[in-house]
Amino acid sequence: MDILRVARVIASCRFLVALTGAGISADSGIPTFRGDDGLWKRFRPEELATPEAFTRNPTLVWEWYRWRMSIVFRAKPNDGHRALAELESMGILRCVITQNVDGLHQLAGSRCVVELHGSIRRVRCTSCSYREELVEPPTEIPPRCPRCGALLRPDVVWFGEPLPSDAWNKAVELCSKADAILVVGTSGVVMPAASLPYLVKSHGGIVIEVNVKPSALTSVADVFLQGRAAEVLPKIVEEVKRFVTK
């Protein structure tokens, strides 16, 4: 059985990392981007998630992000998030590298989380160094910096922008050490994040994928477990416990 095989591999890992995408948060009620009913089926990225779009119409962009924030701030971690946090607490999972901006890994209890694409729970100033953690969506649209008066923007990576160098460098460092990577709920088409499983594979590491359907990364996976993360990951953790306690 593949879950048993995966659990055996994970239990014997020296340095396990995870790469997560929108699929792990789907069971928390947060829409994915590239699924059959994903956000990019209904919205045009260039109109809502690019620096040019923000320059052109910050109010439109902020109205969309306030809607997304309202969903994220109501969302709770699901069993998939909690399973990864438990693997970390067991000393097996070293870190979660996530493409998500929802902060649910941290809320589930994960301590080492690398946010490749930023956080929708933060805003930053377009002019000065001001940053702020939010507890609710902004009421003023578009919001302005309390320090200098310039426009605030969501502290996320938009299309056409580079990843934060510290986050990317940390992700590369982790994957360079990893003897296995657990890839969960990502389409595998967004670069450079999608290159990380290849990095692990390049030095002999094992790639384990959990997804509701095959992705662009399935061909590189040593094991593919089809199913929802909130269902599959807890089953893996329960089996890992059996191997660890033997």
What pLDDT, in 10s, does the model give residues 60-91? 899 889 988 999 999 999 999 999 999 999 99
Same domain, 25 and 85: yes
What total of structural domains would you count in the chain?
2
Same domain, 81 and 45: no
Residue that is last in its domain, among 109, 133, 156? 156
Is 81 one of the catalytic residues? Answer: no
Query: How many angstroms separate the Cα of 194 from the Cα of each of 46, 120, 172, 211?
Result: 21, 21, 12, 14
Same domain, 200 and 95: yes
Same domain, 152 and 47: yes
Nearest C-alpha neighbor of 64 from the set 77, 78, 83, 50: 50
Query: Which residues constitute the domain of residue 53?
Result: 32-74+121-156
Same domain, 93 and 150: no
Report d(CA 94, CA 14) in Å as an integer.
9
Same domain, 196 and 82: yes
Q: How confident is the model at residue 32 (pLDDT cuts 50, 70, 90)?
A: low
Query: For residue 59, what is the domain's CATH number?
Result: 3.30.1600.10
Identified catalytic residue from 81, 105, 117, 203: 117
Q: Quick one: pLDDT at residue 167?
A: 98
Same domain, 65 and 171: no
The predicted model scores a pTM of 0.91
